[in-house]
Amino acid sequence: MEPKIEEKLLLKNIKPTPMRQLVYRMLTQEETALSLSELESKFDKVDKATLYRTLKTFEAHQLIHSIDDGSGSIRYALCDEDCTCRPEQLHLHFVCKICQKTYCLKEKPIPQPDLLDGFTYESANFIVKGVCPSCQK
Amino acid sequence: MEPKIEEKLLLKNIKPTPMRQLVYRMLTQEETALSLSELESKFDKVDKATLYRTLKTFEAHQLIHSIDDGSGSIRYALCDEDCTCRPEQLHLHFVCKICQKTYCLKEKPIPQPDLLDGFTYESANFIVKGVCPSCQK
DNA sequence: ATTTCTTTGCAACTCGGTTGCATCCCAAAT
DNA sequence: ATTTGGGATGCAACCGAGTTGCAAAGAAAT
Ligand SMILES: [Mn+2]
Ligand SMILES: [Mn+2]
Ligand SMILES: [Zn+2]
Ligand SMILES: [Zn+2]
C-alpha cells in the first residue's frame, strides 16, 4: 500500500516527499473535509506553514479541492481521480448543524443556475446546511 | 424622506438612533452588498465596532442579511420589506470576477437541493461566480 | 434628580491564513 | 566524491477580519 500513495502524488505531478505522503494518507482516512487546523491537530507535531503549503500544492495540482463552507475556515477534501475541478464537475457540499462536519456529495452536481441577462456563469459554490445521517436521532 | 428611514427601523423593532439611520441610509444607496470594511470606508469617520454591532443588530432583526461570498469577508445587503429569511426565501448571490462586486439576485430563489437519504435540508448558500453585466465588454 | 439600561467609542485581542527567511534535503553538474 | 542549485521544511513574525472588555455618553424609567 505504501507505493500506491507515492504513485497518486506522481500522477498529479507532485513530488512525493515524506511529509506530503503523510498528509495525503491522513486525508484518505477522512470521510469528511478537514480544515488546516483540524488537520494540524491530527498530527503529534507538524508545522502549520508546511501543512498550509502542502495543501496549497495539492490544490494547485487538483489532488484536493477547497470548500468554503461558511464555518470561517476553509476545508479540504480529496478530488476524484479524474477530477479537473471544472465548473461542470462541481458538486454539492453539506454542513451538519449538529456535528459541524462537512460532507462532499460527489454524486450531487451543482445545478447550472438560471441567471439574469448579462451575467455569465463560470463557477459556483453550493453549500447545504442541515442534519447529517449520523446526527439524526 | 427623513421620517421614512426612522419608520423602516421601527417596523423591524430597531431603535432608530442617529447612527443606525446613517448606516441604513448608506445601505439603501448601494446596489451591491458591502462588507464591514467597505462600509467603514464610506464614512469619513466611524467606529468599526459600532458599525459591526449595528450590522449585527440589523441582521438579528432581519433588516439586512449576510452573504458569505467566499471573498474572505462577509457582505451585507438590505432584505426585502417582507423578508423573514426563511429557507424558502433565500436567493442566489452573484460575485463578479472582474469588479469583485456581490449582487443579490432576489428574483432567483435557491433551488431545493436533491439530497441523499438521511440528510435533511434546513438552509443553503448558493454563490455563483462569473462576470457581471457592467463588466461585459 | 436619581437610577437603570442601552448605545457608542476606543483599544485590545483572537484566530485563520500568509509570508520572510534561514536551513535542510536531494538531485544534477562538475 | 564534491560542489552547487532549487525546492521543501520549520520557525517566527505578520496580516486582516472579526470580536470583546470596558468606560463614557445618552436615553428612558422611577
Ligand atoms: Mn467536495
Ligand atoms: Mn441577497
Ligand atoms: Zn452531523
Ligand atoms: Zn463586475
E strands, chain A, are 34-35, 64-67, 75-78, 91-96, 102-109, 120-131
The rounded distance, in Å, linking the Cα atoms of B92 and B105 is 5
Q: How far is the CA of A136 from the centre of ligand 3 (A)?
A: 8
Please tell me the predicted confidence (pLDDT) of residue A134.
Answer: 96
State the ligand closest to the CA atom of A76.
1
Closest nt to residue B46, judged CA to C1': C9
Write down which residues 97-136 in B have CB closer than 7 A to strand C.
none
Please tell me the predicted confidence (pLDDT) of residue B20.
Answer: 98
Closest nt to residue B71, judged CA to C1': D17
pLDDT at A45 over 70: yes
**Is the distance between the Cβ of B20 and the closest atom of strand C smaller than 7 Å?**
yes
Q: How far is the CA of A90 from the centre of ligand 1 (A)?
A: 8
Please tell me the predicted confidence (pLDDT) of residue A82.
Answer: 83
Other beta carbons less than 10 A from residue B137's beta carbon: 4
Number of domains in chain B: 1
Q: How far is the CA of A94 from the centre of ligand 1 (A)?
A: 9
Domain span including residue B16: 3-136
| Mean pLDDT to the nearest integer, A16-26 | 96
Q: How far is the CA of B33 from the centre of ligand 2 (A)?
A: 8
Closest chain B CA to residue A126: B126
Please tell me the predicted confidence (pLDDT) of residue A2.
Answer: 47
Please tell me the predicted confidence (pLDDT) of residue A116.
Answer: 86
φ, ψ at B77 (rounded to 5°): -145, 155
Closest chain A CA to residue B66: A70
Which residues 60-79 of B have a C-beta within 8 angstroms of A? Answer: 68, 70
- Asked whether A62 and A19 are in contact (CB, 8 A), the reply is no
CB contact under 8 A, B124 and A127: yes
| Mean pLDDT to the nearest integer, A15-27 | 96
Q: Does A2 touch chain B (CB under 8 A)?
A: no
State the ligand closest to the CA atom of A118.
4
State the ligand closest to the CA atom of B67.
2
Please tell me the predicted confidence (pLDDT) of residue B3.
Answer: 59
Please tell me the predicted confidence (pLDDT) of residue A133.
Answer: 96
pLDDT at B136 over 70: yes
pLDDT at B58 over 50: yes
The rounded distance, in Å, linking the Cα atoms of A49 and A36 is 10
Q: Does B122 touch chain A (CB under 8 A)?
A: yes
Pairing label, strands B34-35, A120-131:
unpaired
Domain of residue A78, CATH code? 1.10.10.10
3-class state of residue B125 by DSSP: strand
Q: Comparing B104 with A89, which gets the higher pLDDT?
A: B104
pLDDT tens digits, A104-118? 999 999 999 999 889
3-class state of residue B45 by DSSP: coil
Closest nt to residue B45, judged CA to C1': C9
Residues with CB under 5 A from ligand 2 (ion): B 77, 104
* pLDDT band for position A3 (cuts 50, 70, 90): low
